[in-house]
Amino acid sequence: MTQLWNFGGGVHPPENKRQSNSRPIRAAGLPPELILPLQQHIGEPARCIVEPGQKVLKGDVIAQVGNGMGVPVHAPTSGRIERISLEHVPHPSGMSDTCVVLIPDGEERWGELVPHPEYRKLERDQVLALIRQAGIVGLGGAGFPTNIKLRPSVDRKVDTLILNGAECEPYITADDMTMREKADQVMTGLRIMAWLLRPERVVIGIEENKPEAIAAMRQAAEGSKTEIAIIPAKYPSGGEKQLIQILTGQEVPSGGIPADIGVMCQNIGTAVAVADAILQGKPLISRVITATGEALAEPGNFEVLIGTPASHLLACAGVDKQRLSRLVLGGPMMGYTLPSPGIPLIKTSNCVIAASASELPTPAPEQPCIRCGHCAEACPMELLPQQLFWHAKATEFEKAEHLNLFDCIECGACSYVCPSSIPLVQYYRFAKGEIRLQRAEQQKSDRARVRFEARQQRLDREQQEKDQRRKDRALAAVEAQEQKTADARTMVQNGTVADERAGKSALVEQALARKKAKAAAASAERAEPSTQSSEEAPLEALASTHAERIPAAEPVPSIEELEQQLSQAQAKLEKMQSMLEDARSGKAPNVDKLERAVDKNIERVRRAQRAIDDAQTTPQQA
């Protein structure tokens, strides 16, 4: 007897399995057209490699994948490619996606099949490649490529391989019937997986409410080490995390995968697909789907070609369109409603419920939450659904996340028991969606900020380089001028210049050049962000130019020049004084500077005045 553990929470909804498990699996046959979405798996969509009008054989690859995650799509029967177009695909949003539409020719002619009964002689990677090439994904619902799942990274050795035959959700009996009728194929598939993974323990978990399936699997597993574990019926015991806890007593760490604790779960249907792919070379072109609900005269399980529209399956089961009120793909706890029966059934579809209005009545209007806590008792993840709801409704996403919103598996147990008929799962999906959106936006704005900062740095650097170049140029100019002045002086002293006026003008030019250089340097300094503020700098420049001028003219004082300088200095002084007045009345911060500048100018005017007096009292040299 296998030791079992219990998981917290869980509910016991009416099973409603008898309706569909009393008839053997029937073939749904060929529909008028098959609609094959290019993406029926997690990963990148397959690339279509056929063209409209092209003839294909049963099992031919019609869409291939590159090196990324994904699996090819095959033609479920022989026929002609009608079109490649956007069609409604099974998705909770009711979205459309690229599909290949195939018109069957009715001949069911197979392409070439390459069986590998001696798979144990192959390399493991070769077998994994065969599984990938057969288009196999997890048939439980998520559609994760099986070849990738069967090859966990080296640090995640799988000790326990679990085959999930719990099928805890009401109405669905596809795995139940598969185990009853294809027990040997299930075991073969399981053996192939076990050969790939080399686990220490292989266990098939089946809920106690499937005695026939348990008997069939026991018989098929006779003589092998595979354990058949009979687990108590409680929804959601077939949830991956819950089944792992039941069978191993271990919990999958939050945010992790089962392989982190050395466990892997595989689905019954996946095992059959793996067996068919390896032993017969058949790709995944059909699966067992439950068609049930009160609107069907003959509910049961059907072998359905991938891409068959739901309407065809319903017709096979004798649908009464008058009674049909709701079409659910999946079970009544986690499935989603289909907007129309024309939507194709794909690799991950396990059940179609054609419910009458009385069977799945529209829930009563939402009432306020009274925090009765029934949801918390039902939650298999031991969350606080009432608090999550409260925070989700108030859009306090931080608090919802803090209460482990993202550990919610959306099993619907909380909504099922809610006496106020609050669509709790809907609120959690909303909150998760909003948080994901916020994260994406945060990421986007982070990236934008990094880009902006980089640009800003680049611009600053360029500006600095520019300023540096300007400064260098100004310095070079000053040096050149000094050189020139020195030359002129030597020339004057040596008497090489015949005309004294030429020498004088050279000196004047020299002074002007100095002034220019100073102004250039000052403006360069002004551009430097670290130096004085722009409103102070021109005053300094103004003051310094005049300060330079007077001594420069000193060696050759002519009265006219001096008078000119005096009047200029006086004009400047007046201007500055008026500026100072303005600054004082406006309480501007540069009053100090202005005062100092005015003082300097007063001094300058005085000096100019003195120079004129001197020039007038002493006889001119010239």
CB of 200 to other proteins, least distance (A): 23
Residue nearer to other proteins on the CB measure, 214 or 314: 314
3-state helix, strand, coil in the chain (%, to 5): 45, 15, 40
Residues 6+ apart with CB under 8 A from 302: 25, 26, 27, 28, 288, 289, 290, 291, 313, 316, 317
Contacts (CB under 8 A) with other proteins, residues 53-82: none
- The number of helices, as runs of H, and strands, as runs of E, in the chain is 18, 17
Residue with tokens 């004084």: 577
Q: Given phi > 0 = left and psi -120 to 50 = alpha, else beta, which region is 135?
A: left
Residue nearer to other proteins on the CB measure, 67 or 322: 322
Contacts (CB under 8 A) with other proteins, residues 323-342: 324-328, 330, 332-341
Give yes or no for residue 434 binding other proteins (CB under 8 A).
no
Stretch that binds other proteins, among 63-71, 181-189, 218-226, 393-401 (CB under 8 A): 393-401
Residues 572 and 511: their CA atoms lie apart, in Å, by 19
Give yes or no for residue 423 binding other proteins (CB under 8 A).
yes
CB of 380 to other proteins, least distance (A): 7
| Residue selected from 412, 526, 550, 580 as contacting other proteins according to rule CB under 8 A | 412
| Residue selected from 203, 376, 431, 507 as contacting other proteins according to rule CB under 8 A | 376
Q: Given phi > 0 = left and psi -120 to 50 = alpha, else beta, which region is 111?
A: beta
Residues 6+ apart with CB under 8 A from 425: 408, 410, 412, 414, 415
Residue nearer to other proteins on the CB measure, 202 or 252: 252
CB of 405 to other proteins, least distance (A): 10
Please spell the DSSP secondary structure of 526-546, one letter per residue. Answer: HHSTTSS-TTTHHHHHHHHHH
Residue nearer to other proteins on the CB measure, 45 or 423: 423
Contacts (CB under 8 A) with other proteins, residues 88-107: none
Residues 338 and 245: their CA atoms lie apart, in Å, by 33
Which tokens go with 415? 């909504």
Contacts (CB under 8 A) with other proteins, residues 148-177: 170
Please spell the DSSP secondary structure of 481-523, one letter per residue. Answer: HHHHHHHHHHHHHHT--S-HHHHHHHHHHHHHHHHHHHHHHHH
# of chain residues touching other proteins (CB under 8 A): 76
List the x/- string, 247-266, binding to other proteins by CB under 8 A.
Answer: ----xxxxxx----------
| Residue selected from 177, 183, 275, 369 as contacting other proteins according to rule CB under 8 A | 369
Q: Where do the H-state alpha helices sit in 360-423?
A: 374-378, 385-393, 397-402, 413-417
| Residue selected from 403, 508, 512, 591 as contacting other proteins according to rule CB under 8 A | 403
CB of 339 to other proteins, least distance (A): 6
Contacts (CB under 8 A) with other proteins, residues 10-39: 11, 13-14
| Residue selected from 217, 355, 597, 608 as contacting other proteins according to rule CB under 8 A | 355
Which tokens go with 535? 């409103």
Give yes or no for residue 433 binding other proteins (CB under 8 A).
no
List the x/- string, 200-239, binding to other proteins by CB under 8 A.
Answer: ----------------------------------------
Residues 352 and 340: their CA atoms lie apart, in Å, by 12
Stretch that binds other proteins, among 122-130, 155-163, 203-211, 410-418 (CB under 8 A): 410-418
Give yes or no for residue 366 binding other proteins (CB under 8 A).
no
| Residue selected from 41, 58, 210, 241 as contacting other proteins according to rule CB under 8 A | 241
Residues 559 and 575: their CA atoms lie apart, in Å, by 24
Stretch that binds other proteins, among 135-143, 270-278, 383-391, 484-492 (CB under 8 A): 383-391
